[in-house]
Every structure is written in C-alpha cells, then in structure tokens.
Chain A
Amino acid sequence: DIQMTQSPSSLSASVGDRVTITCRASQSISSYLNWYQQKPGKAPKLLIYSASSFQGGVPSRFSGSGSGTDFTLTISSLQPEDFAIYYCQQSYSNLITFGQGTRLEIK
C-alpha cells in the first residue's frame, strides 16, 4: 500500500496567519492527491483535487501544490471557520489511503 504521511500532526495558529501543511507519499503518485477538511461531528469535505484544483465553492485562500511524492496545502490567511482537521488522500492506487490528519487549532 502507498503510505501517506502528513506534517505537522497538529498546528496552532492565529486568524490571519498563513499556514502550510505537508503530505508525503511513500512512492510517486503523480498528481493523484486530494485534500479534505473535516470539522467535529461532520463528514469530510473535498477542498482540492489533482493536487492543485479547487473544488467548487472552496475559498481562494486555500491552495495546493506538488507532484510526485511531496505536496502542500496552504491557507493564505486563516479565518475562524478554517480551524478543523485536514487530510490528504492518494487516489493513484485502487487501494486509496489517507494521511493521518493535521489538526489546525486556534492559538
């Protein structure tokens, strides 16, 4: 299976900060990388697919980049509603896998 490793596991930041979350795959996955946001008690929500393409309705402060094995999710200016858990997911393999998640907390 392809292992996905996110860093950091948790992050404290303030409203207005720029934050970056990293996701690394155990082998090359081209651009088959998707990002999700999950808030407490809710289902995950697709933010970014194909490493850098926006899902409809996602604010432009979110951006994704990378290819191969290394990917990043950046939030340019944190808003109160952005405090959540973020997951990366590879869809290169038929056996899809998720990163362990990054918890973004208010400082």
Chain B
Amino acid sequence: EVQLVESGGGLVKPGGSLRLSCAASGFIFSDYNINWVRQAPGKGLEWVSSISSTSAHIYYADSLKGRFTISRDNAKNSLYLQMNSLRAEDTAVYYCARVYGSGTYPLDYWGQGTLVTVSS
C-alpha cells in the first residue's frame, strides 16, 4: 500500500524556520517525482514545490521567493521541505504528493498533511 506520512509541523514565530519531512512507503520512492502542496485554513490548494526522482529538477512557486528548499534522500525514502523566514501567510496544512509517472503527471497519492502555524 502506498503511504506518504508528513511530519514536522507545529507553531513557529514569524521569521522562524521549520523543516517538514515526508516518509514514503509501499512503492519505489526513487522512481517518482514528489511535490509539496499547501492549503491555508479555509482556502484552496496552492502548489509549493516539486523535485524529480533524482533531484536533478527542482521547481518552486514564484510566491516563495527563495525562502523554501525542497530536498530528498532516496536511501531513506524521505522528502523534506526546509522553510525559512516564515510569515503568517505560510500558515497552512502542508501535503506531500506523489506524481504519477506517465500521462499528464497527476498527483495520485497524497499524505494526510501536517499543519504549520506561524504566529507570535
């Protein structure tokens, strides 16, 4: 069974940092691109970042302006999101999602999400 489990969320002060993790199981992690998608309370889905299977290709939403860094460790079947200079508007549930490897590359499996709250 494919599983993605996020962790690392919590309460952080504005300007602070946080590192999210996503642990994958039930599939060959190193074969798949993975994305981070976030959802602010009561709002829609916002794509954050993506990383290819070998980390050769990395993309970020323009709105992040270099504050976030995505990475992965295929030996540990894990994905990470380092978030720096956090702002109140970064408050959201953060999901990791696997990219289905063919067709139009949809996000076929999602984790349950981890909540990040940025507040003083």
Contacts and interface: CB of A to CB of B under 8 A. Distances in A.
A49 B97 CA distance: 15
B103 A100 contact: no
Contacts, number: 68
Contact of A46 (B35, B46, B107): B107
B104 interface: yes
Contacts of A43: 95, 110-113
Interface residues of A, number: 28
A104 B120 CA distance: 36
Contacts of B97: 44
A96 B35 contact: yes
Nearest to B46: A98
A80 B103 CA distance: 31
A96 B47 contact: yes
Contacts of B35: 96
Contact of B104 (A1, A50, A87, A95): A50
A73 to B, nearest CB: 14
Interface of B: 35, 37, 44-47, 50, 57, 59, 61-62, 95, 97, 100, 103-108, 110-113
